[in-house]
Structures are given as C-alpha cells and as structure tokens.
Structure 1
Amino acid sequence: MPTTDTRRLNPFALLGILLGVILLAVVVFRSFTRDVVEVRAAAVTYQNLVKSVPTNGKVEPISDFRAHAEGPGVISKIYVKVGQKIKSGDLLIQINDADAVAKLATAKAALSTAQASMHDLQQGGSQDERIALQGDQSRAKIQQQQAESDLAALKQLQQKGAASASEVAAAEQRLQTANSSLQNVEMRSTQRYSVPDRRRTEAQLSDAQAGVMAAEKGYANANIRSPLSGTVYSIPVSQYDFVQAGEDLVDVADLNKIQIRAYFDEPEIGNLAVGQPVTIVWEGKQDRVWHGHVTRVPTTVIAYGTRSVGECIIAVDDAQEDLLPNTNVTVTVTTQQRFNVLSIPREALHTEPSGRDFVYRIVNNKLVVTQVKVGVVNLMRVEITSGLTDKDTVALSAANSNRDLSNGLPVKVVD
C-alpha cells in the first residue's frame, strides 16, 4: 500500500495570511469611504442685516439746576421733596445764613458812607463845613466892606489935608487883603474838590454798590428758588443740617429732556456717526426699552479705568420721566443696517493669508472653493455682495471637528 505524505501549513503562516486579508479588506473599505465627510451646511438667503456696537453709559439731564450753598449755614426749612414737580421761581430751601446777613449789613454801611461822601462832594462839603464856610464868607465880605469904607474916608481926608499918603496906602493894602480873603473863601465854596478827589469818590461809590449787590445775592441765596420748571430728583441734605460753602443742596431737572454719556472702546470709535439710532436698556426696568440717537461723536480718546475710550453723547428721544439721572445703562448703537441682502452665516466665511475671502460651496456633494466679496458683517451673518446666489449652499464645518475642509472634498450634509 503506497504511502502519501500529508503536508500541513505552518500555524504562523495561516495567521499571517488571515491578518493580510483583514488588512486588505480594511484598506479597500477605507478607499471607498475615507473621503466622504459629514458637514453642516446652510443655504444662501436674503435677510436684513444690522451691525451694532454695545457699551455702557450714564444718564444725565440736558437742562438742570444744582443749588449749592453760597456760604456756611443751617438748613432752616425744605419746601419740596424728591419726585415733586415744581415751576420756575418756586421756593426750594431756606438757609439760616448769619454770615450772609452780616456781609449785607457791612456792605450797606459802606454804601451809605460812599453815598454821603458823594453828596458832600456835590454840595461842596458836609453841612458843618458849609455852615463854617458861609460864616467865613460873611466875615470876609464885612471886612471887605469895612476896608472899602475906610479907604474912601481916608481919601476924602487926604484931599482936605487931614490924612497922609501913607495912611491912604495902608488903607489900600487892607482892602487888597480883604478882597483876597473873600476870593479865597469863594473859591473854597465852589472849587473845594479837585478832579482826582471826584474820581476817587465816584470809584468808592461804585465799589460800594457792587459790594451790596454781591451781598444781596448771597443773602438771596439763603432762600433758594428754582430757575426752571421740572422735577426734584435729589435732596442730599435734611432740615437743621449745617452745610459748608459749596455743598450740594437740591437738584432739579426736566426729566423729559435727558442724554447719555457713553464710552466706546477705541477700535469702535471710527464706526460712530451723528444721527445713528440707539437703543437703551436699564436693569432697573428690564421690560422697558428707550430709543435715541447720537448727537456728538468722540473727539479724543481718554483713559477710563483700564480702557482707552471715546466719549459720545446720546440724546434720548422717548424719555417720559422714567429714566433717572446718574443711572448706569447699556446703549447699543446701530452703525450699519442693510435690508433684504444676500447673506450667509459668519461661520461659513474663510479668509486666505492674502486677505481674500472665500467659502466652500457644495456642488454635487463636493466642496468647491468660491471667492466672495462681503459687505456688512455682524456677529451672526455676513453680507455677500458677489460670488454667490440664493440658490447656493455653503459648508459651515465638518461634523467631526478633527476634519478640515478642502477643495474637492466629497461631503454629506447632515443636520
């Protein structure tokens, strides 16, 4: 009986063959599936786009009156309360200001002295001086008349040989002296004060009048009245409080006319323009939104804490006395607004190192790099001005975050 040798395969060889078959199957499978990437996508659509800039700001009145103490004193009475509506001229606060009373009395005394000096100057002297001057003038006239009479009598006697020439000469000398004395007295009555004396007295009077006006103003400020109609929104003092000069007493404003002083970071300043619409929100009234517009754009950059900001003024258009002064608010300025423009999600936009913008358009389940031009860009969407139509679909990102998008990549759109 013939014998047949049976040759068996080595177990290690069988294992290697098996692993090779499995590896080949994996390679073949991956060759058919590796390039199909699941991606999220979005249609190119027409939408309204708004670009806005939010920041913080503080409310302040446009027209207000802040009363301050002109001098130290005690609050005698407060006639109003916070929230009260008042009219122009209404009495707000009364201060017991002894210092103002004393200053007014001193100023009035100085004015009386200056007025008396001016009266004396205009009348040629005080009453005592004028009486004394009149007496001197009467005596001088009597002396003159006596000298004239004596001279006339001596001249008659000289003609008769009863008086010498020396006696007549002496009489003439006495008459000249009497005439000179009378002339001096008359000059004293009509030209007592010189031009510099008059100017000095007039200056003293003007200074005294100004002093009284200032003192009266200070005294009047003890009774503080509002120069405008509005609402009392702050009274930081109480009755019987002692206040120092310059201390804030009461604040009044027309709360229908308010503005916001807002601070924008330096990179955002260039987007601001007068007239841009603004929305305002306040945490104190979360169900209320106010509207306004930019009235003044920043003219310089200042340090605001750790920020470099520009100061912007925003007028509130629909205030109804419900936005309080000094409150902190959030304002949002609409810097650009476009209606019914072609747009895509911002996530779909890519930028080359050269600065050109592009998107991955999906055509026949493959990605196609498409250059685009953009317009308004906000936080969510991008306006497309050229490169796409409303029939296009663009890729946003791979469903598997580890995969990168590339031109020609086969894709499958998933939600």
Structure 2
Amino acid sequence: MKLFGRRNLILFLVLLAVAIGLYVRRRIESSVISVKVARATGGDFVQTFRTNGVVEPVEFREVRAQFSGRVIAVQVREGDRVRAGQSLARLDSSDVRAEFAQARAQLLEAEQALAKIQNGSARNQLEAQIAQAQADLALADSNRRRDETLLKQRAISQLEFDESSAAYEKASQRLAALEKERATQLQHLDPLSEEEAKARVQQARVLSENARERLKATEAPAPLAGTVLVAPPRAGTLVSVGDLLAKVGDLDRLQVRAFIDQPDFSSIQPGSHVQITSNGFPGDIWQGTVTLLSAQLTALGKRVVGEALCSIKAGRDRLPVNSNVDLTFTSRELHGVLLVPVDAVLQREKRNYVYVVEGGMLHLREVQIGSSNADFVVVKSGLEANQMVLNDLEVQPREGMRVVPRS
C-alpha cells in the first residue's frame, strides 16, 4: 500500500513538472512576436525631388509691336514653317511712312548745312590763291615800273613795255576776282560750327534709321527660321506698343523649363541629372541635364520658384511644344554609405534610434544619421553593415522584447 502510494506520488510529481514545463513554454512562446526586419547595407544613396515644367524650343523669339496700330493682314498660321525675315503680319503703316519721310527730309537738310560749313576748306584754298595773286601783282607792278624807267631811257622798246603793263593788268584783275569770290562766300557762311553740324547730321541719321526700322516692323518679320508657335492676332485687331504679335521657334532642338520651389532650388546646379515624364506618354522616361539656372527667384502663383533649363537627351521629338511635364531631379548622390529603411529610424527628444535584433531580442541603439529620401536614411555611426534592425510600424517595440525576424 505504501509502495503504491509512493509510485503515485512520483507519477504525480512527474506529470506536474511536465505540465509546468509546457505551461512555461507556452507562455514564453506566446510572448515572442514575429516582426519585419531589414539589414543595414552599404550602397549608393540618391536624393531626389519632383516638380513641373513646360517643353519649349532651345531657340525661340517673340515678335512684339513696336508702335500702336491696327493689324491689316495676317500672313501665317500656327505651325507654319517660316524663313528668317518673312512677313508674319502687316500693320497699318500710314503714320510710320509719314514719320520716315519727315526724318529723311531732316537728314537731307542737316547734310546740306554740314556741306556748307565743310566748304571752309575751299575758303582756305581761296585765301592761298589770293595771297599768291597779291604776290604776282606786286611782281608785275615792280616789272612794270622797271620797264617804264627803261623805256624813258630808251633801253627797251614800247612793245616790251606794253607787255609788262598787260601782265600787271592781268594780275590786278585776277586778284580782284578772287577777293570778290571771298566776299560772296562770307555772306553765305553758316553760323553753326562744324562739330555742331556733324552732331545734327548724326542725330538726323539715327532718327531716319529708327523710322526705317519701324517701317520694316510694320511687316512683323520672322526673327529666325523655324516654326510659328504663336500666330499673329486676326486682322482688324488694335495692338499697343509691346503687345505680342507672334512667336517663332526652332523645333529641331527642345528643352524643358522647370519651376523649382525655393527650398530645393539651391540643391541643384548645372550638370545635375533629371528624369522627365509626361502624362501623354505613360511609362516613358526621358533623361536630361540641367544647363542653366535663373539668377533670381520669382513668384509663380502662391509659390516662390527658381527656373532651370534642362536639355533632353533622347526622344525629344515625341514631346509636344508647350506641353506640361513632370521632372525628377537628382539633388544629391553619395557612394558607399550605410543605409537603413526610413521606417527603421525612430526620433526621440531630437535624437535618432534604431532597434537592433540580437539574440532574438530588441535592443535600442542611438545612431547618427545624414541625408534621407523617401526610402532610405544614411547612417553615419552607431550601426554596422549587415546588422538586423526592426522595420515594422505595426509593432510597439520595447527594450528586450523577444521577437522572431521575418523579411
């Protein structure tokens, strides 16, 4: 009886121990949570941002009204190919023609006034001729007086004396004619100086040339060979100075004008890479490069933006001019850095932490981080490559929590 009781007691104790072990095991197993994890990996980091832009020709020119008037004829339509200088539209030119005629008349008058003053060089020549004539007259008078004495002494003949007298009369008449010509010129002398007259001619030429250009502008000539992007307003339209008449561009070379918000604008520079997409071509991606940045920021609706011109490396002929596109800029590239998913980093009191999975448990560890994008964070210190970190937003982690990792 005692033996039977002892055996039952031993059996009971064994069963109790097994039950307790199973209970403890189940409690332990029930406290272990399956969590998503990721490994810290070395690699390349790319930081990007998105914005919008518009496709335009690399080279295009606007034709604007240089004076107020009415459009009397339209020569082209949007999409037409034109040559440089070809008339795009004609404006009423009656007032401009009158202005040009007046400017030409003023130029002619100024040139005539200058010509009169510049005849002063002829006066200098005349003065030299008068001086020579005076010398010739003095010599002729001396010869005549000498021959008169010789004639009285009968040393020369009357014929020889008459020749001396005739030479004197001729020299006297020559001098009188030159002095009369000088008096006539002095009566018609212009009071302007030569420099003043030249300035008036130059001013008149500028006015005449401006009037000529304005007359040409009544034909609204194409500034370059290309395609009409914006056609002139219809005939009968009244335009003012500065109004857009037409826009012509070379469609053989296209670019994208991007509008970049102020915080992102400083992160790019000429040569930065950009990807271009269009809703009109789903799935297609064009590669590009920043070629030029605007010097100033400007207001665009409620945004403050800078402008960037971006070249298109391939497939540019499929993007319509003036179409809106989306752009993804590469603002930073880092090579050979340690990366963890964005969701793995926790911020507490302005410090950054990750939960490292070691020995089936979570351990909180402070890390120093750098740049980040939508997917990854650069870890500068506090973590080593290939270490496993918690990456599960559905878990409320705590120090020492037992976990089962899953990808």
Which bracket does the TM-score occupy, shorter chain normalised? 0.5 to 0.7
Relative to structure 1, the CA distance from residue 311 to residue 122 in structure 2 (aligned partners, 3 Å threshold; closer, same or farther) is closer
Residues 240-389 of structure 1 mapped to structure 2, 5 A cutoff? 240-297=236-293, 301-318=297-314, 320-324=316-320, 326-338=322-334, 343-353=339-349, 355=351, 357-372=352-367, 374=369, 376-384=371-379
Measured after TM superposition, the shift of residue 68 of structure 1 is 1.4
Relative to structure 1, the CA distance from residue 81 to residue 314 in structure 2 (aligned partners, 3 Å threshold; closer, same or farther) is same
In structure 1, the partner of 2:401 is 409
Gaps of at least 5 residues in structure 1 are: 1-26, 125-178
Relative to structure 1, the CA distance from residue 36 to residue 406 in structure 2 (aligned partners, 3 Å threshold; closer, same or farther) is same
Task: Show CA shifts across 1:360-382 (max 9, x none).
Answer: 22223211334545455220123
Say whether the 8 Å CA contact 1:94–1:222 is kept in structure 2.
Answer: yes
Measured after TM superposition, the shift of residue 235 of structure 1 is 0.9
Residues 14-25 of structure 1 mapped to structure 2, 5 A cutoff? none
State the secondary structure of the residue aligned to 2:200.
Answer: helix
State the secondary structure of the residue aligned to 2:285.
Answer: strand
In structure 1, the partner of 2:227 is 231
Residues 172-187 of structure 1 mapped to structure 2, 5 A cutoff? 186-187=182-183
Matches of 1:104 and 1:300, distance apart in 2: 41
Relative to structure 1, the CA distance from residue 361 to residue 310 in structure 2 (aligned partners, 3 Å threshold; closer, same or farther) is same
Matches of 2:359 and 2:283, distance apart in 1: 49
Residues 5-154 of structure 1 mapped to structure 2, 5 A cutoff? 32=28, 35-45=31-41, 49-121=45-117
Task: Show CA shifts across 1:305-326 (max 9, x none).
Answer: 4344444443334473544555
Measured after TM superposition, the shift of residue 51 of structure 1 is 1.5
Moved more, 240-249 or 313-322: 313-322
Gaps of at least 5 residues in structure 2 are: 1-22, 121-174
Matches of 1:114 and 1:308, distance apart in 2: 54
Matches of 1:111 and 1:238, distance apart in 2: 37
In structure 2, the partner of 1:214 is 210
Measured after TM superposition, the shift of residue 347 of structure 1 is 0.8
Matches of 1:321 and 1:97, distance apart in 2: 40
Relative to structure 1, the CA distance from residue 256 to residue 289 in structure 2 (aligned partners, 3 Å threshold; closer, same or farther) is farther
Matches of 1:288 and 1:231, distance apart in 2: 26
Matched length: 331
Matches of 1:215 and 1:410, distance apart in 2: 90
Identical counterparts, % of pairs = 26
Measured after TM superposition, the shift of residue 57 of structure 1 is 3.0
State the secondary structure of the residue aligned to 1:196.
Answer: coil
In structure 2, the partner of 1:394 is 389
Measured after TM superposition, the shift of residue 216 of structure 1 is 0.8
Normalising by structure 1, report the TM-score. Answer: 0.66
Measured after TM superposition, the shift of residue 70 of structure 1 is 1.9
Matches of 1:386 and 1:380, distance apart in 2: 19
In structure 1, the partner of 2:132 is none
